[in-house]
Amino acid sequence: MKIQAAFLLILSGILLMNCQPQTTKESPGEDTDSHMQMHQMHMAQLADDERVSLHMSPEQAQHQLMNMRSHLQAVQTIVNYLAEDEYDSAAAVASAKMGLSDEMRMMCAAFNNDEFEQLGLAFHQSADKMSEVFKTRNKDKSLAALSQTLNYCVTCHARFKQ
Protein backbone atom coordinates (compact mmCIF):
# COMPACT_ATOMS: atom_id res chain seq x y z
CA MET A 1 0.00 0.00 0.00
CA LYS A 2 2.70 2.42 1.00
CA ILE A 3 4.71 1.69 -2.11
CA GLN A 4 1.63 2.06 -4.29
CA ALA A 5 0.80 5.41 -2.69
CA ALA A 6 4.35 6.66 -3.17
CA PHE A 7 4.28 5.48 -6.77
CA LEU A 8 1.02 7.33 -7.39
CA LEU A 9 2.45 10.46 -5.80
CA ILE A 10 5.52 10.34 -8.01
CA LEU A 11 3.42 9.55 -11.07
CA SER A 12 1.05 12.47 -10.46
CA GLY A 13 4.08 14.65 -9.81
CA ILE A 14 5.51 13.71 -13.20
CA LEU A 15 2.16 14.27 -14.89
CA LEU A 16 1.79 17.66 -13.26
CA MET A 17 5.27 18.70 -14.25
CA ASN A 18 4.54 17.69 -17.80
CA CYS A 19 1.22 19.45 -17.91
CA GLN A 20 2.06 22.66 -16.19
CA PRO A 21 4.71 23.96 -18.52
CA GLN A 22 2.38 23.18 -21.41
CA THR A 23 -0.55 25.14 -20.06
CA THR A 24 1.48 28.07 -18.81
CA LYS A 25 3.86 28.24 -21.75
CA GLU A 26 1.84 27.53 -24.85
CA SER A 27 -1.36 29.48 -24.64
CA PRO A 28 -0.06 32.71 -23.10
CA GLY A 29 2.99 32.29 -25.34
CA GLU A 30 0.74 32.37 -28.39
CA ASP A 31 -1.08 35.40 -27.03
CA THR A 32 2.18 37.22 -26.50
CA ASP A 33 3.33 36.41 -30.04
CA SER A 34 0.15 37.69 -31.71
CA HIS A 35 0.11 40.66 -29.37
CA MET A 36 3.68 41.47 -30.36
CA GLN A 37 2.75 41.12 -34.03
CA MET A 38 -0.16 43.50 -33.61
CA HIS A 39 2.02 45.91 -31.71
CA GLN A 40 4.68 45.79 -34.43
CA MET A 41 2.08 46.35 -37.16
CA HIS A 42 0.69 49.26 -35.20
CA MET A 43 4.14 50.78 -34.71
CA ALA A 44 4.85 50.39 -38.45
CA GLN A 45 1.64 52.24 -39.22
CA LEU A 46 2.60 55.00 -36.83
CA ALA A 47 6.00 55.26 -38.44
CA ASP A 48 4.25 55.49 -41.83
CA ASP A 49 2.06 58.33 -40.60
CA GLU A 50 2.68 60.93 -43.26
CA ARG A 51 -0.21 63.16 -42.31
CA VAL A 52 0.60 66.84 -42.18
CA SER A 53 0.44 68.34 -38.69
CA LEU A 54 -1.48 71.58 -38.29
CA HIS A 55 0.44 72.43 -35.10
CA MET A 56 -2.66 73.42 -33.18
CA SER A 57 -2.52 75.03 -29.78
CA PRO A 58 -4.20 72.96 -27.04
CA GLU A 59 -7.18 75.34 -27.11
CA GLN A 60 -7.54 75.12 -30.88
CA ALA A 61 -7.19 71.34 -30.72
CA GLN A 62 -9.97 70.99 -28.17
CA HIS A 63 -12.28 73.33 -30.04
CA GLN A 64 -11.59 71.58 -33.34
CA LEU A 65 -12.36 68.12 -31.94
CA MET A 66 -15.60 69.45 -30.47
CA ASN A 67 -16.52 70.69 -33.92
CA MET A 68 -15.64 67.33 -35.43
CA ARG A 69 -17.77 65.39 -32.97
CA SER A 70 -20.63 67.71 -33.84
CA HIS A 71 -20.11 66.91 -37.56
CA LEU A 72 -20.24 63.19 -36.84
CA GLN A 73 -23.41 63.62 -34.83
CA ALA A 74 -24.93 65.66 -37.66
CA VAL A 75 -24.18 62.84 -40.09
CA GLN A 76 -25.94 60.36 -37.82
CA THR A 77 -28.97 62.63 -37.48
CA ILE A 78 -29.07 63.06 -41.27
CA VAL A 79 -28.95 59.30 -41.87
CA ASN A 80 -31.84 58.82 -39.44
CA TYR A 81 -33.92 61.53 -41.13
CA LEU A 82 -33.24 60.09 -44.59
CA ALA A 83 -34.29 56.64 -43.37
CA GLU A 84 -37.59 58.19 -42.26
CA ASP A 85 -38.04 60.19 -45.49
CA GLU A 86 -37.84 63.40 -43.47
CA TYR A 87 -35.97 65.28 -46.17
CA ASP A 88 -36.64 68.81 -44.96
CA SER A 89 -35.27 68.03 -41.50
CA ALA A 90 -32.22 66.36 -43.06
CA ALA A 91 -31.69 69.44 -45.26
CA ALA A 92 -31.97 71.77 -42.27
CA VAL A 93 -29.37 69.81 -40.23
CA ALA A 94 -26.99 69.62 -43.18
CA SER A 95 -26.86 73.36 -43.72
CA ALA A 96 -27.10 74.41 -40.07
CA LYS A 97 -24.47 72.02 -38.71
CA MET A 98 -22.10 71.57 -41.65
CA GLY A 99 -22.87 74.30 -44.16
CA LEU A 100 -20.50 77.18 -44.82
CA SER A 101 -20.91 79.84 -42.13
CA ASP A 102 -18.67 82.68 -40.97
CA GLU A 103 -17.64 80.56 -37.98
CA MET A 104 -16.66 77.62 -40.19
CA ARG A 105 -14.80 79.97 -42.54
CA MET A 106 -12.76 81.26 -39.60
CA MET A 107 -12.10 77.75 -38.26
CA CYS A 108 -10.82 76.59 -41.63
CA ALA A 109 -8.50 79.60 -41.94
CA ALA A 110 -7.21 79.41 -38.36
CA PHE A 111 -4.35 77.00 -38.97
CA ASN A 112 -2.44 78.91 -41.66
CA ASN A 113 -2.51 75.98 -44.04
CA ASP A 114 -3.85 76.78 -47.47
CA GLU A 115 -4.58 73.23 -48.53
CA PHE A 116 -6.45 72.53 -45.28
CA GLU A 117 -8.43 75.75 -45.68
CA GLN A 118 -9.45 74.92 -49.25
CA LEU A 119 -10.41 71.38 -48.31
CA GLY A 120 -12.41 72.64 -45.34
CA LEU A 121 -14.25 75.24 -47.42
CA ALA A 122 -15.01 72.68 -50.15
CA PHE A 123 -16.35 70.33 -47.47
CA HIS A 124 -18.73 72.96 -46.06
CA GLN A 125 -19.86 73.92 -49.56
CA SER A 126 -20.56 70.28 -50.35
CA ALA A 127 -22.75 70.13 -47.23
CA ASP A 128 -24.77 73.10 -48.55
CA LYS A 129 -25.10 71.36 -51.91
CA MET A 130 -26.14 68.16 -50.13
CA SER A 131 -28.81 70.12 -48.28
CA GLU A 132 -30.26 71.26 -51.63
CA VAL A 133 -30.24 67.69 -52.97
CA PHE A 134 -32.18 66.48 -49.90
CA LYS A 135 -34.94 68.92 -50.82
CA THR A 136 -35.53 67.00 -54.08
CA ARG A 137 -36.75 64.15 -51.82
CA ASN A 138 -34.89 61.62 -53.95
CA LYS A 139 -33.26 58.98 -51.77
CA ASP A 140 -30.68 57.72 -54.25
CA LYS A 141 -29.49 61.23 -55.04
CA SER A 142 -29.54 62.12 -51.35
CA LEU A 143 -27.36 59.16 -50.42
CA ALA A 144 -24.97 59.96 -53.26
CA ALA A 145 -24.71 63.55 -52.01
CA LEU A 146 -24.10 62.34 -48.46
CA SER A 147 -21.35 60.06 -49.72
CA GLN A 148 -19.72 62.97 -51.55
CA THR A 149 -19.67 65.04 -48.38
CA LEU A 150 -18.30 62.08 -46.39
CA ASN A 151 -15.56 61.84 -48.97
CA TYR A 152 -14.22 65.17 -47.70
CA CYS A 153 -14.11 63.80 -44.14
CA VAL A 154 -12.12 60.79 -45.33
CA THR A 155 -9.78 62.83 -47.56
CA CYS A 156 -8.98 65.41 -44.91
CA HIS A 157 -8.42 62.80 -42.17
CA ALA A 158 -5.99 60.95 -44.41
CA ARG A 159 -4.06 64.16 -45.09
CA PHE A 160 -4.02 66.13 -41.83
CA LYS A 161 -3.66 65.69 -38.11
CA GLN A 162 -3.75 68.14 -35.24
- Beta carbons of 127 and 149 less than 8 angstroms apart: yes
For residue 89, give Cα distances in angstroms to 17, 25, 71, 93, 99: 69, 59, 16, 6, 14
> Which residues from 26-45 bind ligand HEC, rule CB under 6 A?
none
How far apart, in whole angstroms, are the C-alpha atoms of residue 132 and residue 121? 17
CA distance 84 to 103: 30
For ligand HEC, the binding residue among 15, 43, 68, 143 (CB under 6 A) is 68
Judged by CB under 6 A, which stretch of 13-21, 24-32, 77-85, 150-158 contacts ligand HEC? 150-158
The stretch among 29-37, 78-86, 115-123, 137-145 that binds ligand HEC (CB under 6 A) is 115-123
In the complex, least distance from residue 150 CB atom to ligand HEC, rounded to whole angstroms = 6
Q: Which residue number, 110 or 156, has a Cβ lying nearer to ligand HEC?
A: 156
From candidates 91, 94, 104, 116, binder to ligand HEC by CB under 6 A:
116
Task: Choose, by CB under 6 A, the member of 87, 120, 130, 146 that binds ligand HEC.
Answer: 120
Tell me: does residue 143 bind ligand HEC (CB under 6 A): no
Q: How far apart are CA 52 and CA 161, in angstroms?
A: 6
Burial of 71 (0-12, 13-18, 19+ CB in 10 A): middle
